[in-house]
Each structure stands twice: as C-alpha cells, then as structure tokens.
Chains A and B, each alone.
Chain A
Amino acid sequence: DAKTTQPPSMDCAEGRAANLPCNHSTISGNEYVYWYRQIHSQGPQYIIHGLKNNETNEMASLIITEDRKSSTLILPHATLRDTAVYYCIVRVQTGANNLFFGTGTRLTVIP
C-alpha cells in the first residue's frame, strides 16, 4: 500500500487560501489520490480526487506534481466551517476498494 505523509496540523486565516500538502512517494501508476475531511465526530466527507492532472470542483483544487510523488489540496477561501481533519489517501487497487486513512492534517481556520 502506498503510504502518505501529511503535517499533523496547520493554521489558516479566514478568507485566505489553505494549502494542504501530502507526500506519497511510493504511489503506483494506477493509484488515485483522494482527499477527505472530517469535521469533529462526523463521517468523513469526500472532497476531490485525481490521477495525474490537476482537478477542481466547487469545494477545492487538487494539484498533483508531475512525478506524482506529492500533491496539494487548495481551499481557495477558507471559512471557519473548513476547520477539520483532512486526510490524503492513495487508493489501493484491490478488489476491496478500501481506503487506508492515516492521521491526517488538522486544519484550524482562524478568524
């Protein structure tokens, strides 16, 4: 399983862009990078995923380096409601399609 490395915590000022890094140096060619977040005691919320190209949706942007060994999740205008634990996951290509969560990055948006 490809493992990911994330900083344990980050702060971001409200209204500013939050840039959350993730290292996945052992990623395989057919593995996707997924991002989820979990607000306290709630179920994880899907944010975005990508394979090679940068992706953008209504929640965030995902920037994947050309060698695919790292990625950055960007929340363009962070709000207090974005305070959560953010998980970067490389999806294992097995029949079970399970997700391996690490410890994530605790993002705190500061007023």
Chain B
Amino acid sequence: ETGVTQSPTHLIKTRGQQVTLRCSSQSGHNTVSWYQQALGQGPQFIFQYYREEENGRGNFPPRFSGLQFPNYSSELNVNALELDDSALYLCASSLGQPRGDTQYFGPGTRLTVL
C-alpha cells in the first residue's frame, strides 16, 4: 500500500509569485485535505476535496485554491504569495464520505517566501 506523497519537498519563492504544490493520496482514498502549518503552530485546515469537488474550506483567502484529479491526486495553488505564506504545507488523504475516515498525512512541502 502506497502512502501519501508530496512534491516538492522544499520550495523557495518571492513575494507576488504563484506556487503549485502536489499531493498523491494513499491507495484507495478518495478525499484529500490540505493544511498549513506555520512555525511553532499546529496545522490549520485550508480545504478538502472529495471526488474532485471542494468539500469544505477553512479561513483562507481565495488566492488559495485547489484541484483534485480523477485519480484523486490533488494540487494546492497559492497566488500572489505573501511573506506569511511561508509554512509547511501538509496534505492528508482519507476514505471520505459519509463516515469521514481517518486522515493520513504526507511528509509536507516546506515553502519559503522571500
């Protein structure tokens, strides 16, 4: 069974740029959730995708957007990067609706915005 993978591992961008982060869900999982973890804080929920549709969103502005593909992999896009976007971005996959199963996390992508 393949676990959750994320790419790239590390990324450095400058303010105003755009970034795309990728996540491959665990085999058999159809739901992907994205989280942002600032230094010293717990992960904060960004949004979730279930069967290619956004299925809930946390308190993040619209410049944070996502996609889920038919194979259930997912992308997180962030436009107009700000310094405060520097964080560890985590994705987690699960079996999803209706019971909302356990989420399993990937290793994360460390984004640094200069």
Contact = CB atoms under 8 A, between A and B. Distances in A.
B106 A98 contact: no
Interface residues of B, number: 31
Interface in A94-111: 94-104
Contacts of A94: 56
Contact of B106 (A43, A93, A97): A43
A45 to B, nearest CB: 7
B107 A43 contact: yes
Contacts of B100: 91, 93, 97
B103 interface: yes
Interface in B97-114: 97, 100-108, 110
Interface string B51-85: 00001111000000000000000000000000000
Q: Which of A91, A101, A102, A103 has the most CB of B within 10 A?
A: A101
- Chain A at the B interface: SS class: loop
B33 interface: yes
B110 to A, nearest CB: 8
Interface residues of A, number: 23
Q: Which of B4, B105, B108 has the most CB of A within 10 A?
A: B105
A44 B43 contact: yes
A42 B103 CA distance: 15
A87 B42 contact: yes
B94 A104 contact: no
A97 B94 contact: yes
Given A34-B102, A42-B107, A43-B90, A96 B42 contact: no
Interface of B: 4, 31, 33, 35, 41-45, 47-48, 55-58, 88, 90, 92, 94, 96-97, 100-108, 110
Interface of A: 34, 36, 41-46, 49, 87, 91, 93-104
13 contacts: A41-B108, A43-B92, A43-B107, A43-B108, A49-B102, A87-B42, A95-B56, A95-B97, A96-B33, A97-B55, A97-B56, A99-B45, A99-B92
